[in-house]
């Protein structure tokens, strides 16, 4: 399965193939900034399954509260965030679903950082929720069990 994606201005085009490892919704305050809204949806994929077809991504990085580096790859023209990657664990990239061609087709398997979610957010029953965020390996294991 191939899925095409692009940034808001079209300078960046990419393709995703293979299996999606997880679909996550995050309401942390960093994601408020990234989305200029209240959170972001992300699919985790193997970095080998991401192919940049057009343009050059710009890089901005910060260290998270847990001490991990978080590298943000984005369009230098329109500023649209495409994916995040931890340089210490580069095998998995966290792609922002809003830039995918079928962006409305994703349903979160887990909701993270409810602690900073707006009070009006409604989470479907029987969905994994976390006040903050568990380590990635634990989260993937919990999603598999569902």
- Which residues bind to Zn ion, rule: CB under 5 A? 7, 9, 11, 26, 28, 31, 75, 77-78
Residues 87, 62 contacting (CB under 8 angstroms): no
Structure tokens, 134: 């568990």
CA distance 51 to 65: 30
Helix H or strand E encompassing 110: strand 110-112
The DSSP 8-state label assigned to residue 87 in this structure reads: T
H or E stretch covering 33: helix 29-35
Closest CB to Zn ion among 26 and 100? 26
Nearest approach in angstroms of CB 7 to Zn ion is 3
- Closest contact distance (angstroms) between CB of 123 and Zn ion is 15
**Closest distance to Zn ion from the beta carbon of 121 (Å):** 13
CB nearer to Zn ion: give 11 or 52: 11
26 vs 93 by CB, closer to Zn ion: 26
What is the closest distance, in whole angstroms, from the C-beta atom of residue 71 to Zn ion in the complex? 14
Question: What is the SS3 assignment for 9?
Answer: coil
Nearest approach in angstroms of CB 112 to Zn ion is: 6
Report how far residue 143's alpha carbon sits from residue 146's, in angstroms, rounded to the nearest whole number: 5
- Among residues 20 and 114, whose Cβ is nearest to Zn ion? 114
Based on CB atoms, which residue is closest to Zn ion, 8 or 48? 8
Contact, 34 vs 81, CB < 8 A? yes
């Amino acid at each position: 399965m191939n899925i095409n994606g692009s940034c808001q201005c079209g300078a960046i085009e990419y393709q995703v193939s293979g299996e999606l490892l997880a679909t996550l919704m995050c309401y942390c305050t960093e994601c408020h900034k990234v989305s200029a809204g209240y959170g972001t949806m992300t699919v985790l994929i193997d970095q080998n399954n991401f192919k940049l077809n057009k343009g050059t991504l710009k890089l901005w990085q910060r260290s998270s509260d847990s001490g991990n580096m978080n590298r943000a790859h984005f369009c230098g023209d329109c500023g649209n965030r495409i994916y995040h990657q931890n340089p210490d664990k580069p095998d998995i990239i966290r792609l922002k679903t809003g830039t995918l061609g079928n962006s409305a087709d994703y349903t979160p398997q887990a909701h993270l950082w409810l602690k900073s979610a707006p009070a009006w957010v409604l989470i479907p029953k029987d969905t994994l929720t976390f006040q903050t965020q568990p380590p990635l390996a634990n989260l993937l294991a919990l999603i598999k069990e569902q």
